[in-house]
Every structure is written in C-alpha cells, then in structure tokens.
Amino acid sequence: MWLGREVDSREDFALEACHLVTHGVILGMTGAGKTGLAITMLEELINKGVPLMIIDPKGELANLGLLFPEAQADQLEPWFDSWQSAADWAQRIQEGRSQWDIDPARVASLSEKLELHIYTPGSRVGHPLNLLGCFQPPNPVTLSDEEARANLLSGLVQGLLALVGEVADPLRSAEALVLCQIIDQAWEQGQNLTLEGLIRQLVDPPFRKIGVFPVETFYPAAQRLELATKLNALVDSPAFSAWSEGECLDIHRLQQASQPGRVPVSLFYLSHLSEAERMFFVTWLLHHIYNWSRQQPAGHQLRSLLYLDEAAGYMPPHPANPASKQPLLTLLKQSDRGLGVVMATQNIAEVDYKGLASAGTWWVGRMQSAIDRQRVAKGLALAASGIDGPQLQKEFEQLQPRHFLVKRPEGGVPIRVETRFTASLMRGPVKRSELSRLHSSIPPRLPAESLEPLVNPMHVSEGLSAPPPLPTGFAQAFLDPSAVFSSELGGALESHAQPHRDDGRLYWRPALWGEVQLHFDEKMGGFSLDESHHYLFFPLSEELPEQWLRLPLEPADVLSGWNLPSCYENLPTSFDEDAEFSAARQAMLEDVFERVSSSQWVQPDLKLYGGGGESELAFRRRVQLAIEERIDQQVAGLQTQADQEITAIQDSLARYAEESVRNDTQRQQSESLWTAGASVLGFFTGKKRALSAPVAVSNTDGELEDLQLRLQQVQSQLAQAVERIQARESQALEHIQARPVRLERESIRLSRFGVLWIPVSRRI
C-alpha cells in the first residue's frame, strides 16, 4: 500500500496489506491528518481488492465516494457553497495530485473499482437496516456453535438494553438473562422473533424457570413490565420506524461485489444517531462481524478490513465497560482469520490499553499536550521493546500536520512518514442530506448456492423484481411504507393491505398519480389560497374512475426511489402506453376542475368575508368581535340618553334632600314657639288645645317616591333595551355561510403525473 514518503529520505513509503491482519491504530489530535491517512489507506485497499466495512460516526469517511478524475470546477461545484470555492478546490486538488504523480487515470481506475454501499441505520436517507423488526435466527453454523451463539445473543441484548438506557451484564443481570433466554428459545424453534413479540414474551415469558429459580422469583412481573414499557416506547415512537425497515444485517453478503473487478465498501453512516443509538448499532455490528470471522478458514492474508473512526467511546479503559467493548477487544485479539481491524482516536488515555497492545501497526501523529506525548511514547515503547521512550517524545515534538511516526509489525525504529495526497475529495464531513448525491448502491442479491442456509428458508413469492418501465415523460415515485397504513391517511388504503410476506419483501401495487398545485381566488373579501393535492386512481382497473382518490400526503411521504429488494405488480395493459397515460392525465385534471372547490366563510349582514385558509372557528371569532362592536355602539347611544334622564332625577332627589333638611330645622323651631304660645294661652284661658305645626310639607314624601320609582323604571328600560340589542345582533352568528370558491382552469397546475407505487404488504 503506497501511503506516502519517508520524511528523511524522501523515498516512497509502502506497507504490506497483509500486515493489517494484526490490526492497526491511528493516534493524533484534531488536525493531525488522521482522516487523510485513513482515506489514503482505504483507497489502497480498494485497489488491492480488499472488501471494507467502515464505521463512520461523523460522516468524514463518506468522502471516499467523492472521486473526480479530472477535478474540474464544474464537477466540484455541487459540493461547495460557491463557484469560487469550487474553483479554488479544483486548483488545489490538481496541484496536489501533480506533486504526488496521481494522474486522472489512477483516480478513474479507483472509481471504477469502488462499489460503495452507504447504510444509515435509523434513517431512510441511505439504505436502512432492519434492526428492530426481526431478530432473525442465525445460520445453522452459528446456531450450532455455542460460543458464537452466546456472543451473538449477548451483543444483541446488551445493545438493545443500551438503547433504552440500561447497562447490563449479560452473564449476571436478570433482565439480560431473561431476554437472552426468550430470543434463544425462539431461535431454537426457528422463529423470526420481532421486537413486538419480544415485548409480549417479556411480560409473559414462554418458560417457567431461569436455571433453578422460578421466573417470578428471578425477575418479578413488575420489573419485567417496567422494562417492557421502555422497549414498547421504541415501537411506538415514529422516530424508530426506520429501524424496522430494510434488510437484516448479513456480513457474508457485505463481502460480495455485484460483478468481477468491483470491490464492496460498506460504510455505516452514524452521524445522525444519538450516543445510545450508536452504541446499540455498533455493538450489534461488531458481534455479527465476529461471528462471521469465526466461520472463515484460518490464514494470514487480508480478506476484509473493519475501520472504526473515533474509537474512544467504544473501547474506553477500565473500569468502563460499554456493550461494544468486549466484542471489539475480542476482534483485536484474533489475527488468524483474515479480518483486519484499524481504529483511530485522538487520545491514547481514552482507549483500553489491552486493545492498543493488540495492534501490530501504529501511526502516531501530532499530540496536543506533553502528557499525551508521554503516554503515547510509553505505550509504544511497551508495545515494541527496544524503542527509546524519551527519544520518541522528541520525535513527536517535531511532527507536522500529515506527518506520522509509523511502527510496523516486524519491529524496528519507527519511521517518520508524510502521507500522500488523497485521490478522494477531502471537503469535510458529508451531511446526511448529501448522501443521495454520492454514487452508492445496495449490495447485490447473492445466488442461493453462495449463501449459507437458514434455519427456516424463506419462500420468495412471484412478482416483478423491479418496477416496469413507464412511457417517456411520466413520473415515478414510491409511497413511504411507514405512512401507507398510518392514521394520517385515515385508513384510505387499509382495505388493500396484504399479510406480511414470508420472504420479507414489500409488495408494491401501482396507482396512477398526479400532484397538482391549485390556486383559489375570490375578489370579494380578498380570498386567495394555494393548495397542493395528490390524486390517485387505485387500484387500477380497465376503466378510469368517476372520481379520483385524494390522499393528504406530506412531501416526505413521497420517495423518489426504493432500493431494497421488493416485488412489483405489473401495469395493466390498459395503462402501459403513452396515449393511455395522457388520456388518464387529462381525465384527472377534468375531475379536479369539476369536483374540487374550496370554501370561503361569509356573513352577508355584516359584509364580512373569510380569508384563504381561515377556519370556521377563527371566522366565528372575528364575527363575534364585530357583533360586540355593533352592540357597544348602540348601547352607547341608549346609555347617553338614559344618563341625561337619570341625572335629572338625581338632581331632583338632591334638591328634595336639601329642602327636607331645611324644613326639619324650621319645623323644630316653629313647634317650640307654638308650644310655648299654647302654654301661655292656656294659662290665660285655662284650656289646652291640640295644634298642627304650620311649616309641615305634606306632599314631600309622595313626590320623593315618584322620583325613586322613575329612576328604577329608567334603569330597567335600559337593561331591557340592551338585551333586545344583544339578541338581535347575535342572530348574525346564525347567518354565517360557507360559500364555494370554484377553480379556474388556468389555476390548476400539474406538477407531476405518472405512477405512485403503493406498498400493500404489511411490514410485520
């Protein structure tokens, strides 16, 4: 493998690929050039025809798929933000390749050999892997190998528990042992156990004892239900639906190319996953790789290589023991099965030394701190006796970016190497949204004789293995399997559902399909509304329908392609030619024009009109506000008139109150004088007389009562008038109408028309 040149002698530096069967480790801080070295090594292995499995947590290794032999700016432009950036990179690449004598023919040859398969567990952007839908029994060889079987069970259960936040020892913890026994019993009986089935059996296990203890004693029902609830959340979560799609992991298949001369490269893209999800997948993958490697014949030629980027979290030092650690250490301990493991990390202190000691080849780049350099020098001196640790530290201090000290398996003094320019475009991490633009495919179906037999061979039903061709100019799309029977579609396709197929493939049926953009416009009230509709003719028959089916699809529900093995129903003979598709398209547009309309909410009395997309509730609230404003205006007029009369009555009451006080004082003075006069008169006449006070106001009380009664009448009349206004105006709510808004022909725009494939077979 041509990896670069020696810094001191300037001679080319090459490493035998077979040396990697004793594994390797790349150490260096950020910016040291680890990714460039890794991609250089992987390019060389592709040229040597070695199948690769790459665990890519950050998306940087996906750059391996960016191969541009001529490296022209127009070829690079889609991968950069501007033409200037693309032009700068094109110049940089051409100059770098020229300095290292990497001509376009070398890059073209690499591109022709590369058969890149990008897997995105938990996502549909690339090729999903079915990790939650089916715990498929292993092949008979693994099933009969007790150690391999136990390792696979252990990894499966540890990864699954890690996914729900449980760290369990597979040899001691009750939850792990119960789950292992459930899955192992299903495998023994040849059952394809699903996660749903596992949850049900966890609540009600199909056995009574774990060892000598009853299940209820060993792992009580309350604890089993708690774990089952956590696992059930995975099934119920829409985010995890993609984990149950795609094919089951098959390491043997990953090693096979579609045709001679091609080299399969399986890249597992994990940057979109959480830490728990990554741990789950990596653990699962490592156990499957280990079991596959155990079945390979002994030998020291490199048959396949596993590359793990950012290994620190998967093999930390003692006492940390994540689920991925044991299978990774086990892989590093073996070197006689032709599987090499190379891992990269930034800090030696974050990786278990037992794993590092198993690596025959070390690449050591720039270290960030003196203590990091001391640790690496000490570890390297221990791994290769005779190396001077202090001298190594001095060597480390002189390292530049893209310079590495290389310790080879045969020993000797480490060599300082400058890594060569990569043939691939190194433009930083590839985003998940960019994966579809990489040249990637799915692994080919292998002939039956090349596959190891399963416990229960699956029956492959009849059907086309690929969608039939459509007339030129008509679109083809695929309905997302996770949406076909979902509640969002209201069960519109439920009656067409078929049982889960024995071969695990999805069965697709065609529907004539049109995506139209509609514009509703009504001048009165300024109504304007734009809508996107999907109309289907499904299932197809010989005659066109009277009415087309409308499905409320979101953009994400309509996929541009489907690469997983499936079966397709053929198009009926009445819809397999250009003229027939054109007639169907016109019929659909006519149906939309005749039948489709929108509604505008109207209150004619108040001359209020709803806007485009305004709901009935929102319009009613607006009408209610208008009614309240009209009521307030009318009540304000009545209140002004009533206030004037009430003010006059109150003024009269105030005068009577003042006069009453004054009359009370006069009456008291008169009564005193009158009493005194009467006494004097009686003294002279000798007679007593009963007299009335001359200042008494006989009519005051009656007039006061009249004023108070009038005040009450005015207030009552005002309240009754307000009630009548409210009742009359509130009737406007009953006169709200939904007025249809018709389409104009020119307001119908057809975005796409063709066939939408409907996956009618259930996934579980």
Q: Which residues pair with 741 in a beta bridge?
A: 598
Smallest CA-to-CA distance from 540 within 511, 498, 569 is with 511
Q: Name the least confident of 300-304, 687-691, 721-725.
A: 687-691
Query: Over 60: is that where the pLDDT of 524 sits?
Result: yes
Name, of 26-30, 240-244, 574-578, the range with top average pLDDT. 26-30
Q: Across 388-540, where does the E strand assignment appear?
A: 403-407, 415-419, 475-479, 506-522, 527-537
Q: Name the least confident of 109-123, 146-160, 276-290.
A: 146-160
**Dihedral Cα 386, 391, 395, 396, nearest 10 deg:** 90
Say what the pLDDT of residue 384 is: 56
Say what the pLDDT of residue 735 is: 81
Q: Which domains does the chain have, with CATH numbers?
A: 2-129+246-437 (3.40.50.300), 472-596+748-759 (no CATH)
- Mean pLDDT on 66-88: 85
CA distance 361 to 355: 12
pLDDT tens sequence across 353-383:
888 888 889 998 988 777 777 777 776 765 5
Q: How far is CA 239 from CA 210, 495, 559, 564, 624, in A?
A: 34, 26, 17, 20, 42
Q: Which residues pair with 740 in a beta bridge?
A: 599
Cα Rg of the chain (Å, integer): 43
CA distance 404 to 417: 5
Say what the pLDDT of residue 13 is: 93
pLDDT tens sequence across 530-565:
888 899 988 887 778 878 888 888 888 899 888 777
pLDDT tens sequence across 418-454:
999 999 999 889 988 888 778 655 554 444 334 333 3
- Mean pLDDT on 34-47: 95
Q: Name the least confident of 45-49, 152-156, 531-535, 701-705.
A: 701-705
Confidence of residue 170 (pLDDT cuts 50, 70, 90): low
In contact, 697 and 663? CB cutoff 8 Å: yes
The whole-model pTM stands at 0.58
Query: Over 60: is that where the pLDDT of 63 sits?
Result: yes
CA distance 80 to 569: 41
In contact, 387 and 4? CB cutoff 8 Å: no
Say what the pLDDT of residue 670 is: 44
- What is the strand order of the sheet 608-609 is part of? 608-609, 597-603, 737-742
Q: How far is CA 761 from CA 185, 197, 561, 722, in A?
A: 28, 19, 18, 65
- Mean pLDDT on 661-678: 50
pLDDT tens sequence across 619-647:
888 888 888 888 888 888 888 877 777 88
Q: Name the least confident of 26-40, 148-162, 360-374, 668-682.
A: 668-682
| DSSP conformation letters of 265-314 | EEEEE-TTS-HHHHHHHHHHHHHHHHHHHHTSPPEEEEEEEEEESS-GGG
The sign of the CA dihedral 551, 553, 559, 564 is: negative
